[in-house]
């Protein structure tokens, strides 16, 4: 995958599903969700009219037709994240872990599971321990964005270089400002003004020296450019830069490669070994770098609870290798269950994820509003107990975005996207660390 920098030429507009009438501004200055950027690149590839690409059949849920007209199904993205471009080395920032704050220029863990039976409690199944604060509450507001170095220091992960090791902390106002404007509603059919219909909107303006950072990849089975490459992203940005339309009101962003990072992705590394041990159980925590979507499936409630966690026992239902069908295709051994269970969680307020579909004459001929989902926000923390060291290492390999550090190029490819929906659009990226019990346990 390639690190890319998006530089908006004007203000940006990213609204949610809330109304924009009267005194409401539609929250259009919110930081964009991952699927917004993915859709922007997908639309840009269509507008580029790239020929000789692989096409997919139309359909969903295993009910596919014979018509192949879907393109660019190999597109995968992650981000966006705020990027400071001051200086030669660019610094990427990520949402703060909810169990930590910045204090005296360093990360500080302030929430830990209370490892004792809560008795009668309101904890939802399958949680066993509440997460309690270790410091008295105060009114100070922690910085929302942490640099890669701050994340690695908090997780105890190896630092990769001096520039990335700097623990830096930023607030929204450090790199973006909100602007408000009023407008008049237009009739979509005629383009004329609708009498008496006004709206107010908020817009996001990035400050000088800041960019939207993403990673993107789109290898195609049949496409080859003049250099023999199958990468559609390189072709889209040829000869090294380009522009795309991002968000509402079709705002333009120029796109360039982040040349300050060449051999890896600028994402924090998760811990892969060396986890804390308590009464023979190895303690692993998983922290989300991006939001995740876990819909309700049958009796599984979804929502804050990952779909790959048993809703009653908390057992992890991931495997330490490929599933049955994948193992058959690749002629390798089938993966085995990982002996681990979820025991505690610290999640933030859910984020509504929705959108609007244009009529396409196939599986959604009428167009209209898409289904609304509630996403677990970035920074949420999930705490696991593993039966032994081997299970802990396997769990970390299955949850870290980079997978196993044994693979030579593990820092340059995203191996795991643990969101049930929209993983290819950048949802469900996370990193692992370890945890210890609350001092009063």
pLDDT in tens, 127-140: 999 999 999 888 88
Among 40-44, 216-220, 241-245, 378-382, where is mean pLDDT lowest?
241-245
Other CB atoms within 10 Å distance of the CB of residue 148:
26
Q: How far apart are CA 214 and CA 79, in angstroms?
A: 5
Q: What is the pLDDT of residue 300?
A: 94
Quickly state the pLDDT bin for 413 (edges 50, 70, 90).
confident
Q: What is the pLDDT of residue 397?
A: 95
DSSP state of 369: E
Does position 233 have pLDDT exceeding 70, yes or no?
Answer: yes
Does position 162 have pLDDT exceeding 70, yes or no?
Answer: no
What are the two backbone dihedrals, phi and then psi, of residue 55, each rounded to the nearest 5 degrees?
A: -115, 150
Q: What is the pLDDT of residue 432?
A: 97
DSSP state of 44: H
H or E segment and range at residue 241: strand 241-246
Over the chain, what is the mean pLDDT? 86
Other CB atoms within 10 Å distance of the CB of residue 21:
11
For 283-302, what is the mean pLDDT?
Answer: 96
For 268-272, what is the mean pLDDT?
Answer: 92
232, 242 in Cβ contact below 8 A?
Answer: no
Q: How far apart are CA 372 and CA 354, in angstroms?
A: 5
Q: What is the pLDDT of residue 113?
A: 95
Among 67-76, 107-116, 165-174, where is mean pLDDT lowest?
67-76
Does position 228 have pLDDT exceeding 70, yes or no?
Answer: yes
Q: How far apart are CA 202 and CA 135, in angstroms?
A: 36
Strand partners, 353: 373
Q: What is the pLDDT of residue 207?
A: 94
Q: How far apart are CA 287 and CA 382, in angstroms?
A: 7
- Say what the alpha-carbon torsion angle 134, 136, 138, 142 is, to the nearest 10 degrees: -10
Does position 26 have pLDDT exceeding 80, yes or no?
Answer: no
257, 19 in Cβ contact below 8 A?
Answer: no
40, 246 in Cβ contact below 8 A?
Answer: yes
| Proportion of the chain above pLDDT 90, given as a percent | 49
Note the Cα 256 to chain centre separation in Å.
21
Among 312-316, 357-361, 405-409, where is mean pLDDT lowest?
357-361
Q: What is the pLDDT of residue 248?
A: 80
Closest by Cα among 107, 120, 101 to 153 = 107
Q: What is the pLDDT of residue 160?
A: 64
User: What's the chain's length in residues?
Assistant: 441
Does position 363 have pLDDT exceeding 60, yes or no?
Answer: no
Closest by Cα among 203, 212, 245, 253 to 28 = 203
Hunting for tokens 């964009």 — which residue is that?
32
Counting beta carbons within 10 angstroms of the beta carbon of residue 140, is it exposed (0 to 12), middle (13 to 18) or buried (19 or more)? exposed
Report domain extents, the chain: 2-96+145-257, 276-434
The residues, ordered by sequence, that sit 6+ positions from 9 with a Cβ below 8 Å of its Cβ are 251, 252, 253, 254
Strand partners, 392: none
Q: What is the pLDDT of residue 205?
A: 93
Among 49-63, 188-202, 302-316, where is mean pLDDT lowest?
49-63
Residue 173 or 356, more confident: 173
Buried b (16+ CB within 10 A) or exposed e, 170-195: beeebbbebeeeeeeeeeeeeeeeee
12, 247 in Cβ contact below 8 A?
Answer: yes
Quickly state the pLDDT bin for 377 (edges 50, 70, 90).
very high
């Amino acid at each position: 995958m390639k690190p890319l920098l998006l530089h908006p030429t004007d203000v940006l507009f990213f609204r949610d599903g809330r109304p924009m009438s009267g005194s409401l501004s539609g929250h259009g200055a919110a930081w964009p969700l991952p699927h917004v950027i993915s859709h922007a690149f997908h639309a840009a590839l269509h507008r580029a009219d790239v020929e000789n690409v692989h096409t997919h059949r139309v359909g969903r849920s295993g009910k596919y037709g014979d018509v192949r007209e879907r393109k660019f199904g190999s597109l995968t993205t992650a981000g966006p994240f705020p990027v400071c471009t001051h200086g030669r080395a660019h610094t990427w920032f990520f949402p703060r872990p909810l169990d930590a704050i910045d204090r005296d220029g360093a990360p500080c863990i302030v929430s830990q599971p209370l490892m004792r039976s809560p008795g009668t409690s309101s904890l939802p199944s399958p949680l066993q321990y509440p997460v309690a604060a270790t410091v008295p509450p105060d009114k100070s507001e922690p910085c929302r964005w942490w640099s890669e170095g701050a994340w690695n220091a908090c997780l105890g992960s190896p630092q990769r270089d001096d520039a990335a090791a700097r623990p830096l902390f930023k607030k929204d106002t450090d790199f973006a400002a909100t602007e408000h404007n009023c407008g008049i509603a237009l009739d979509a059919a005629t383009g004329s003004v609708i009498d008496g219909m006004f709206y107010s909107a908020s817009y996001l303006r990035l400050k000088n020296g800041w960019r939207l950072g993403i990673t993107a990849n789109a290898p195609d089975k049949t496409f080859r450019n003049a250099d023999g490459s199958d990468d559609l992203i390189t072709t889209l940005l040829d000869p090294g830069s380009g522009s795309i339309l991002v968000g509402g009101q079709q705002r333009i962003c120029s796109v360039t490669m982040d040349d300050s990072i060449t051999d890896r992705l600028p994402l924090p590394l998760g811990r892969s070994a060396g986890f804390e041990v308590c009464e023979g159980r190895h303690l692993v925590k998983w922290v989300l770098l991006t939001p995740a979507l876990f819909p309700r499936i049958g009796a599984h409630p979804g929502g804050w609870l990952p779909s790959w966690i048993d809703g009653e026992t908390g057992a992890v239902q991931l495997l330490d290798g490929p599933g049955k069908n994948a193992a058959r295709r690749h002629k390798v051994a089938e993966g085995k269950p990982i002996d681990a269970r979820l025991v505690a969680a610290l999640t933030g307020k859910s984020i509504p994820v929705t959108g609007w579909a244009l009529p396409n004459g196939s599986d959604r001929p009428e167009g209209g509003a898409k289904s609304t989902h509630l996403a677990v926000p970035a920074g949420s923390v999930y705490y696991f107990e593993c039966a032994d060291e081997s299970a802990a290492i396997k769990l970390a390999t299955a949850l870290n975005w980079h997978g196993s550090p044994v693979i030579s190029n593990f820092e340059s490819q995203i191996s795991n996207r643990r969101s049930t929906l929209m993983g290819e659009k950048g949802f469900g990226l996370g990193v692992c660390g370890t945890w210890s019990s609350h001092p009063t346990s």
